[in-house]
């Protein structure tokens, strides 16, 4: 089962179309704000923008030109990786994002990995064909998935930081500093992943090939590790694009709570002072990341799924 390059190419083209549409949507959303568009870019009607700043924004965005010219200009600038200037930080948006992206990616990738490990370990431990384990297993998943990450973060801080003093309540890039924010993001996600995969894991355990594997003398654990897990993983991997989006969105809350530098906290600060260029830039970059991860997840899903003819279909 090699990589089906033609299907991958088509998915990539589809992803580019989605990105173009997303950029178009943000362009027209900004222009749909009533009043002076330059004022809207500089923080809305209540902002203290001076006349020079307004004139500079008008020139940069070409607000005196016809709408279609502005649109083409915006698309052209986006295509060359230019995201405009943040008026609150007085720096190019692309540079700010480049600086902050690493910390958030580290957080998101670690949380995704931890969530997968937790979900798979939990499934391997609690999926049985009969008995009370399944009920307990799915009950815990349900509760985990229902936990709002901002509340879970607060509870984790109370328990592990201010009561037990095991881990710091503020986050940095050390293992100890990452533990709490990663867990706060990973636990609800693990609940979602396990919920999604439990059904296919159960189906796989009672499938004919599992019975024949057991008849060949395969032990229960071996069956789970060698056969069921691959079947179970397919719907979970399909969810990974969504999961990554959830993590990027969750990083806004988590980075703010743990006073951790990153894209999410930058976005939060930009939203509170209504720095539209910076907000737009971060939203578009995260949309691009989402599209990329979704395409990757489809390719990986096709490779992992043992059923024939499923490769990136």
Partner 1 sequence: MTNLALLASRPAERPRRRLDPVALLACAFLVFLLLCALAPGLVSGRDPLAIAPAEAFSPPSPAHWFGTDESGRDIFSRLVWGARDSLLIGVSATAIGVGLGLVLGVLAALAGKIADVVTSRAIEVLLAFPGLMLALFLIALYGPGVGTAILSVGLSTAPGYARIIRTRLRTVASSGYAETARILGHHPLRVLLRTILPNAIAPILGIATLGIGQAIVWAAALSYLGLGVKPPAPEWGAMLAAARTYITSAWWMTLFPGLFIVLTVLATTLAPRLLARWGARA
Of 66-74, 82-90, 118-126, 203-211: span binding partner 1 (CB under 8 A): 203-211
- 142 part of the interface to partner 1, by CB under 8 A: yes
User: Could you give the CA distance from residue 5 to residue 304 in angstroms, rounded to a whole number?
Assistant: 16
Q: Of these, 150, 229, 230, 299, which contacts partner 1 (CB under 8 A)?
A: 150
User: Could you give the CA distance from residue 157 to residue 164 in angstroms, rounded to a whole number?
Assistant: 10
* Phi/psi of residue 30, nearest 5 degrees: -65, -40
Contact mark string toward partner 1, 34..73, x via CB under 8 A: ------x---x-----------------------------
Of 54-62, 107-115, 225-233, 282-290: span binding partner 1 (CB under 8 A): 282-290
Distances (CA, A) of 250 to 17, 65, 228: 26, 39, 31
Cα dihedral sign, 114-115-121-124: negative
Q: Of these, 92, 168, 249, 261, which contacts partner 1 (CB under 8 A)?
A: 249
User: Could you give the CA distance from residue 137 to residue 121 in angstroms, rounded to a whole number?
Assistant: 11
- 74 part of the interface to partner 1, by CB under 8 A: no
Report the residue number, 25 or 72, with the smaller CB distance to partner 1.
Answer: 25
Report the residue number, 17 or 79, with the smaller CB distance to partner 1.
Answer: 17
User: Could you give the CA distance from residue 101 to residue 262 in angstroms, rounded to a whole number?
Assistant: 6
DSSP state letter for 163: I
Distances (CA, A) of 310 to 3, 104, 210, 224: 11, 33, 20, 21
Report the residue number, 1 or 282, with the smaller CB distance to partner 1.
Answer: 282
Q: Of these, 12, 16, 21, 125, which contacts partner 1 (CB under 8 A)?
A: 21
- 228 part of the interface to partner 1, by CB under 8 A: no
Closest to 160 in 3D by CA, of 137, 187, 191, 183: 183
DSSP state letter for 286: H
- Listing DSSP states for 26-68 in one string gives HHHHHHTSSS-HHHHHTTSTT----HHHHHHHHHHHTTTS-HH
Q: Of these, 55, 59, 143, 170, which contacts partner 1 (CB under 8 A)?
A: 143
Q: Of these, 56, 256, 300, 304, which contacts partner 1 (CB under 8 A)?
A: 256
Q: Which residue ranges make up the site for partner 1 (CB under 8 A)? A: 14, 17-19, 21-22, 25-26, 29-30, 33, 40, 44, 142-143, 146-148, 150-151, 154-155, 157-158, 162, 206, 208, 211, 242, 244-246, 248-250, 252-253, 256-257, 267-268, 270-272, 274-276, 279-280, 283, 286-287, 290-291
């Amino acid at each position: 089962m090699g990589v089906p390059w033609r299907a991958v190419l088509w998915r990539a083209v589809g992803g580019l179309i989605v990105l173009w549409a997303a950029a178009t949507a943000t362009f027209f959303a900004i222009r749909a704000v009533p009043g002076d568009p330059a004022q809207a870019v500089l923080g809305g009607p209540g902002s203290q923008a001076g006349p020079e700043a307004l004139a500079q924004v008008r020139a940069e965005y070409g607000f005196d030109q016809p709408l279609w010219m502005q649109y083409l200009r915006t698309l052209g600038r986006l295509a060359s990786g230019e995201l405009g200037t943040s008026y609150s930080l007085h720096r190019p948006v692309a540079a700010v994002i480049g600086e902050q992206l690493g910390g958030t990616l580290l957080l998101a990738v670690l949380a995704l990995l931890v969530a997968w490990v937790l979900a798979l370990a939990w499934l391997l431990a609690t999926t049985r064909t009969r008995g009370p384990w399944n009920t307990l297993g799915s009950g815990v998943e349900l509760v985990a998935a229902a936990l709002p990450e901002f509340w879970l973060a607060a509870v984790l801080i109370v328990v592990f930081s201010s009561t037990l003093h095991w881990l710091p309540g503020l986050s940095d890039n050390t293992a100890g500093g990452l533990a709490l924010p990663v867990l706060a993001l990973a636990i609800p996600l693990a609940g979602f992943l396990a919920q999604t995969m439990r059904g296919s894991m159960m189906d796989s355990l009672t499938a004919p090939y599992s019975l024949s594997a057991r008849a060949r003398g395969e032990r229960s654990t071996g069956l789970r590790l060698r056969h069921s897990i691959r079947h179970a993983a397919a719907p979970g991997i399909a969810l990974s694009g969504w999961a990554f989006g959830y993590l990027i969105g969750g990083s806004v809350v988590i980075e703010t709570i743990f006073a951790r530098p990153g894209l999410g906290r930058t976005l939060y600060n930009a939203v509170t002072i209504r720095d539209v260029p910076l907000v737009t830039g971060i939203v578009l970059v995260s949309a691009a990341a989402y599209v990329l991860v979704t395409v990757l997840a489809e390719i990986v899903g096709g490779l992992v799924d043992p059923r024939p003819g499923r490769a990136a279909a």
